[in-house]
Amino acid sequence: MGGVPIAIKDNICIKGKKITCASKILASHTAVYNATVVERLKKAGLNIIGTANMDEFAFGSSTENSCYGPVKNPWNISYVAGGSSGGSAASVAARLVPFALGSDTGGSIRQPASLCAVVGFKPTYGRVSRYGLVAFGSSLDQIGPFTTNFIDCAYLLNILCGLDEKDSTSAAREVPDFAKSLKDIKPGIKIGLPKEYFGEGLNLEVKAAIEEVIEVFKKKKAKLIEISLPNTEYAVAAYYIIASSEASANLQRFDGIRYGKRVQDKNLIELYKKTRQSGFGDEAKRRIFLGTYSLSSGYYDAYYLKALRARRLIKEDFDKAFKEVDVILTPTSPTAAFKIGEKAADPISMYLSDIYTISVNLAGIPAVSFPCGWTKNNLPIGAQLIGKEFDESALINLGFVYQECTDFHKKIPLCHFDAREKS
């Protein structure tokens, strides 16, 4: 992979380069060290050509919460690219780069991958080092790759994965050669279809596309089995309490003293207040308020601890399901991309964009999104495969087989300059 260009999400440290997390509060901050994933990419000979736009501090599902403005979907520039890794997904979809890195806290790799028609892989928690990643939710965050196909995805994961002594959450697990997973599936492999993911709220065009994916796997002699993940209904509520609580703690460090922006004031408390008030965007403030409230005296037990209990139930759902099946197939997002600004005034509706991806982060297991169709408006649709802990190989295998049977991943969007000429 020597010389191959790659883009890096703007919350991963590259020594000597600005790292802003798409926030005004870090607009002047320069990284003083390389993230472990950056060191591994450089060692492998890849050429980091720049950083990609994102939702501020990875807070969002549309990459509209950025101090640089929104990322536009390459398939239709009136629509969002998804988030929070929208810049990484869009750059690969538009073929500006063959690879990009993102981070996934509740779907921030997989959801934009779905909306932009690329492969977006979220590894098992601990499989890829988080050293050098600006933390959002420390128990949820995971770095992963964007590619156009599973062959590239396998080789890139070979570079990224592995134990890192600089990261206390890095897993001391042997990393297989993922390229060896690029082969036909074994007949009889069991694929679970959770009934909770195919009910109310799922767009009919998305549902039809997933049904076509099911047919492809049936032709490859896979066994499709309906399963239940009964605690899915609690996932969104539990996630936003846990993630916001961790975010409020992690963002305490951005106070105008140690990093980035500082609003001068003779009074120290006023310096803190004015710096954070002017430096953070609306969504960042919303998450800080929610997280601080959930952790405050009198509410910790009622909200945060209850969310942790729900997280355990969700993890147990997956553990039980994987005793019956080898992998799980679901939609990635309940809808295709929505128009820029369409959900900006409705945070709850925006949060529900991640309803099919959040549980994976709560459980700490691997998942991948890949393109599987288009709507009548020519917007991409993605399918999601979810695997057992540290069984990324099974997902690569199934994804590779699917792409060998289809050509959705080969479609390339017209850039907006071409679209203008033809309009």
Runs of H (alpha helix) within 141-223: 150-160, 204-219
Which pLDDT value is given to residue 179?
Answer: 96
- Enumerate long-range contacts of 303-308, CB under 8 Å, 24 or more apart: 303/241, 304/241, 304/242, 304/245, 306/241, 307/237, 307/238, 307/239, 307/241, 307/242, 307/245, 308/238, 308/242
5/70 Cα distance (integer angstroms): 23
Give residues with Cβ within 8 angstroms of 215, minimum separation 6. Answer: none
Cα torsion for 121, 126, 130, 136, to the nearest 10°?
Answer: 80
Which pLDDT value is given to residue 258?
Answer: 83
Give residues with Cβ within 8 angstroms of 253, minimum separation 6. Answer: 259
Query: Which H or E run contains 330?
Result: strand 327-331
Which pLDDT value is given to residue 415?
Answer: 61
The class level of CATH for 5-422 reads alpha beta
Listing from the earlier edge strand, what are the strands of the sheet with 99-104?
Answer: 47-52, 5-9, 99-104, 142-147, 119-122, 367-374, 380-386, 327-331, 190-194, 223-227
Which pLDDT value is given to residue 264?
Answer: 87
Nearest alpha carbon to residue 313 among 234, 243, 385, 237: 234
Which pLDDT value is given to residue 1?
Answer: 66
Q: How far is CA 372 from CA 51, 300, 331, in A?
A: 28, 42, 10
Nearest alpha carbon to residue 119 among 151, 161, 76: 151
**Chain centroid, CA 399 distance in Å:** 17
148/108 Cα distance (integer angstroms): 17
Query: Would you call 285 exposed, middle or buried from its count of C-beta atoms within 10 A (0-12, 13-18, 19+)?
Result: middle
- Return the structure tokens found at 253: 């460090």
Which pLDDT value is given to residue 423?
Answer: 33
Domain boundaries, the chain: 5-422
Residue corresponding to tokens 């409020």: 248
> What residues are labeled active site?
9, 84, 108
Query: Pairing state of beta strands 99-104 and 142-147?
Result: antiparallel
Asked if 394 and 327 count as a contact pair (C-beta separation under 8 A), the reply is yes
128/123 Cα distance (integer angstroms): 7
Asked if 15 and 36 count as a contact pair (C-beta separation under 8 A), the reply is no
DSSP-based three-state secondary structure for 370: strand
Which pLDDT value is given to residue 158?
Answer: 98
Backbone angles phi, psi at 210, to 5 degrees: -65, -35
409/305 Cα distance (integer angstroms): 42
53/171 Cα distance (integer angstroms): 29
Residue corresponding to tokens 């997933």: 210
Residue-by-residue pLDDT tens, the chain, 423 positions: 678 999 999 999 999 999 999 999 999 899 999 999 999 999 999 999 999 999 999 999 999 999 999 999 999 999 999 999 999 999 999 999 999 999 999 999 999 999 999 999 999 999 999 999 999 999 999 999 999 999 999 999 999 999 999 999 999 999 999 999 999 998 999 999 999 999 889 999 999 999 999 999 999 999 999 999 999 999 999 999 999 999 999 999 998 888 888 888 889 999 989 999 999 999 999 999 999 999 998 889 999 999 999 999 999 999 999 999 999 999 999 999 999 999 988 888 888 889 999 999 999 999 999 999 999 999 999 999 999 999 999 999 999 999 999 999 999 997 644 544 433
344/348 Cα distance (integer angstroms): 10
